[in-house]
């Protein structure tokens, strides 16, 4: 991915040296469960995730300029239905950085630079009003509700609101 810059952040490809930083973020279930994945239980688990992020090349690491730490990530993943012009958006941030406007700042720049894409899709986990607020603020429209979703991390079936941003 092309490296992007915002006032507080550098958005760039993942690197092997990001392992310790990303482990702090992805070992926290409050970060991973709403994203639909289990927390990393060990640094070795996390290395597998990081190896994948480096390989797929469609995920940004979010680096905070202030201390050069990686504090989260944004994925523009391939559309599961095969639309080459659509991306599935996923995003997460280490908990100590929540509610400082960081993800909004990062997403505005990532979306503005998603030049090859005409649609960005995002399903939010059950009861994630904060994420729905961010998506709505960025101009996403809720177009559907996916019924009876149960991912590996979920205890119960639930419905997921589905949002689209047309670029
Ligand atoms: C979702 C997440 C990335 C947000 O990051 P963040 O940097 O804290 O987000 P921001 O500070 O940019 O924006 C938060 C917005 O939500 C609002 N908000 C906070 N809590 C809220 C709530 N319970 N209900 C509704 N809105 C809420 C804030 O007021 C802010 O909006 P504003 O800028 O209009 O005031 C972060 O909380 C996270 O990693 N959560 C776990 C993973 C996740 O849910 N990922 C999304 C699934 S794809």
Is pLDDT above 90 for 151? Answer: no
Model pLDDT for residues 52-94, shown as the tens digit of each residue: 999 999 999 999 999 999 999 999 999 988 999 999 999 999 9
Give CA separation, 28 vs 32, 104, 160, in Å: 6, 21, 22
The tally of domains found in the chain comes to 1
Q: Which residue has the higher pLDDT, 1 or 70?
A: 70
Dump pLDDT digits (tens) for 6-57.
Answer: 999 999 999 999 999 999 999 999 999 988 899 999 999 999 999 999 999 9
Determine if ligand 1 sits within 6 Å of the CB of residue 93.
yes
Cα(27)–Cα(43) distance, integer angstroms: 9
CA–centroid distance, residue 98 to ligand 1 (Å): 7
Residue with CA at minimum distance from ligand 1 atom 47: 35
Stretch among 83-92, 116-125, 131-140 having the lowest mean pLDDT: 116-125
Find, among 21, 38, 33, the residue nearest to 94 by Cα.
21
Dihedral sign, Cα of residue 62, residue 64, residue 67, residue 72: negative
Q: Please give the average per-residue pLDDT across 107-125, as a whole number.
A: 92
Please tell me the predicted confidence (pLDDT) of residue 40: 97
> What pLDDT shows up at residue 115?
84
Distance (Å) from CA 114 to ligand 1 centroid? 21
pLDDT band at 101 (very low <50, low <70, confident <90, very high): very high
Residue 130 CA to residue 135 CA, distance in Å, equals 9
Using most ligand atoms within 8 A of CB, pick from 99, 101, 161 the residue to mutate for ligand 1. 99
Residue 130 predicted with pLDDT over 90? yes
Q: What is the pTM of this model?
A: 0.96
> What is the CATH classification number for the domain harbouring 91?
3.40.630.30
CA of 77 from ligand 1 middle (Å) equals 20
- Domain hosting 156: range is 4-166
CB atoms inside a 10 Å sphere around CB 89: 23
74 lines ligand 1 (CB under 6 A): no
Cα distances (angstroms) measured from residue 53 to each of 22, 92, 98, 101, 139: 11, 14, 22, 24, 27
């Amino acid at each position: 991915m092309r490296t992007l810059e915002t006032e507080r952040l550098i958005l760039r490809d993942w690197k092997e040296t990001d392992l310790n930083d990303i482990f702090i973020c992805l070992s926290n279930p409050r970060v991973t469960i709403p994203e639909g994945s289990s927390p990393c239980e060990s640094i070795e688990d996390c290395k597998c995730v990081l190896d994948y992020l480096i390989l797929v090349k469609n995920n940004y690491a979010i680096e905070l300029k202030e201390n050069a730490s990686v504090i989260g990530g944004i994925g523009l993943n391939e559309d599961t239905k095969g639309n080459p012009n659509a991306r599935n958006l996923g995003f997460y941030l280490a908990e100590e950085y929540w509610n400082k406007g960081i993800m909004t700042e990062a997403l505005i720049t990532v979306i503005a630079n998603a030049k090859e894409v005409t649609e960005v899709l995002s399903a939010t986990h059950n009861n994630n009003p904060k994420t729905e607020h961010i998506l709505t603020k960025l101009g996403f429209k809720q177009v559907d509700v996916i019924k009876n979703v149960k991912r590996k991390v979920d205890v119960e079936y639930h419905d997921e609101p589905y949002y689209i941003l047309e670029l």
